[in-house]
Amino acid sequence: MYDVIISGGGPTGMMLASELRLHDVSVLVLERDSEPNPAVRSLGLHPRSIEILDQRGLLDRFLAAGTRYPGAGGQFAGIVPTRPVTLASTHDYILGIPQPVTDRILTERAAELGAEIRRGADVTEIEQDADGVHVRLADGTEADARWLVGCDGGRSLVRRQLGIGFPGDAAATEWILGEVQATMPTEELTAIVAEVRQTHRSFGIGPAGDGLFRGVVPAATVAEDRTVPPTLDEFRTQLRAFAGTDFGVHSPRSLTRFTDATRLADRYRVGRVFLAGDAAHVHPPLGGQGLNLGIQDAFNLGWKLAAAIAGWAPPGLLDSYFTERHPVAEDVLTLTRAQSELLSVEPGPRAVRRLLTELVELDGVAEFLAEKIASTGIRYNLGDGPRLLGRRMPDLPVAGGRLYDLLHDGRGLLLDGTGALSVAGWSDRVDRVAAADAELDAPAALLRPDGYVAWLGDDQADLDIHMQLWFGPPD
């Protein structure tokens, strides 16, 4: 019996597997595809995800494989010009990195940390009782775990089997995404695309490196069976329908479909089973949020589930996964819906776009939008308190180094500017380090393993109460 089975080995599942392995939780990842998905869906990572990779000592691998694009802001919805904005983050840039590379690095990391990963493992049924979860696979094999997390994407079988509601908007438009070669000279292709985009902003095709072109074109209809991949002929037909030419596309590396369906699970947990990533929320890819959101879900859930397995999770800790992450996803859905509207060439959205273009000039508006996309402005509702309470702590200098280097093992951390506070009773779960209180806005701060501030103050008795709230009873 495993501690945790993760159904789905995409970025969310692999991030979660690594987070659990930091705490010695036994993990089995079941991934349906026998080979990694070659489709380049996500093109990059936003500042909060980059911070997370830094907090786990993973960032160097990503930086070596990606390209930094400095500064947040620039454009909203790819169309409303905004001022460049400086975010309060040591990682104030977007990291351009194709999803297959992100997926590969996260998979390698999960395997290095000891997660068992089975490919070609199609989960067909789950059944739970008070003690655990039983999983059946398409090949007739079975597996058991104390907990299961469905990281199995937008069409999640786990979500459907749990009977979790997935309210929202059904797909109205479907797009075909293709990575192909093209015979038309790039200059000619670029000129035609610019012309088409005057009236169809969701159309595009352009060079994507390695001699390939990445193209996105609306499909003729929303496919009934979205598991059937589009054909090259279908892609060519749609290119011709919008641009009058198919640009001579041939030799696809990948062809996939995606839609503008926007839905959010109304629960993230039933008994011993959780949902994370696209299994819990889907939305159009505008703003490049989905993978980032999934990684951050995993980062929130991992330490909490590990705490339950180790036996020290305080009451309500597991349920805080839903109360913290559901509003964040709701916010992202609102943001992507708004961006989708702004792309329309209809008079109403055009007027809103003009108005927004003026609004972003006002103090704080461009910062507000940039923080939303970067996810650095998230504040979990941990009650009233100083500005940093419930927010992620930015990186800062601490005794002998910098904060994010001290978070690699996924433990709690007391940043003590008083020199007099103690974590005695919790030292198996929480470390203590001296820090300058000027950086903290308080004499001392207690960080959860995901780097969010759980307490600020200077009083040992008050600290002990909050230790117990987040890290369970003392030894």
Ligand X SMILES: Cc1cc2nc3c(=O)[nH]c(=O)nc-3n(C[C@H](O)[C@H](O)[C@H](O)COP(=O)(O)OP(=O)(O)OC[C@H]3O[C@@H](n4cnc5c(N)ncnc54)[C@H](O)[C@@H]3O)c2cc1C
Stretch that binds ligand X, among 9-17, 79-87, 166-174, 309-317 (CB under 6 A): 9-17
Smaller CB distance to ligand X: residue 121 or 193?
Answer: 121
Position 44 contacts ligand X (CB under 6 A): yes
Among candidate residues 67, 72, 64, the one with its CA nearest the CA of residue 48? 72
Smallest distance, ligand X to C-beta of residue 407, A: 22
Q: Report d(CA 321, CA 467) in Å as an integer.
A: 18
Position 390 contacts ligand X (CB under 6 A): no
* Binding-site member from 18, 42, 202, 340 for ligand X (CB under 6 A): 42
* Binding-site member from 11, 178, 215, 457 for ligand X (CB under 6 A): 11
Other Cβ atoms within 10 Å of 313 Cβ, number = 19
Position 294 contacts ligand X (CB under 6 A): yes
| Cβ within 8 Å of residue 146, ≥6 positions away | 1, 2, 3, 4, 131, 132, 133, 272, 309
Interaction residues for ligand X, span 221-280 (CB under 6 A): 258, 277-278
Smallest distance, ligand X to C-beta of residue 49, A: 8
3-class DSSP state of 467: helix
Other Cβ atoms within 10 Å of 383 Cβ, number = 6
Other Cβ atoms within 10 Å of 144 Cβ, number = 14
* Binding-site member from 30, 205, 374, 398 for ligand X (CB under 6 A): 30
Q: Are 54 and 394 in contact (CB under 8 A)?
A: no
Stretch that binds ligand X, among 39-47, 180-188, 225-233, 314-322 (CB under 6 A): 39-47
Stretch that binds ligand X, among 27-35, 57-65, 382-390, 446-454 (CB under 6 A): 27-35
Stretch that binds ligand X, among 33-41, 235-243, 245-253, 388-396 (CB under 6 A): 33-41
Smallest distance, ligand X to C-beta of residue 99, A: 6
DSSP for residue 437: H
Position 150 contacts ligand X (CB under 6 A): no
Smaller CB distance to ligand X: residue 213 or 426?
Answer: 213
| Cβ within 8 Å of residue 351, ≥6 positions away | none
**Nearest 10 degrees: CA dihedral of 110, 104, 29, 24?**
0
Position 414 contacts ligand X (CB under 6 A): no
Tokens of 137: 């696979």
* Binding-site member from 33, 188, 409, 459 for ligand X (CB under 6 A): 33
Position 114 contacts ligand X (CB under 6 A): no
Q: Report d(CA 3, CA 14) in Å as an integer.
A: 16
Do β-strands 27-31 and 116-119 pair in parallel, antiparallel, or remain unpaired? Answer: parallel
Position 215 contacts ligand X (CB under 6 A): no
Among candidate residues 174, 190, 196, the one with its CA nearest the CA of residue 240? 196
Q: Are 324 and 380 in contact (CB under 8 A)?
A: yes
- Binding residues for ligand X, rule CB under 6 A, total 35
Angle between helices 290-310 and 320-343 (to 10 degrees): 180
Position 395 contacts ligand X (CB under 6 A): no
* Binding-site member from 98, 215, 285, 457 for ligand X (CB under 6 A): 285
Position 8 contacts ligand X (CB under 6 A): yes
Stretch that binds ligand X, among 38-46, 54-62, 202-210, 232-240 (CB under 6 A): 38-46
Beta bridge partners of 118: 30
> Which residues are near ligand X by CB under 6 A?
7-13, 30-33, 37, 41-44, 99, 121-123, 151-153, 157, 177, 258, 277-278, 285, 288-292, 294
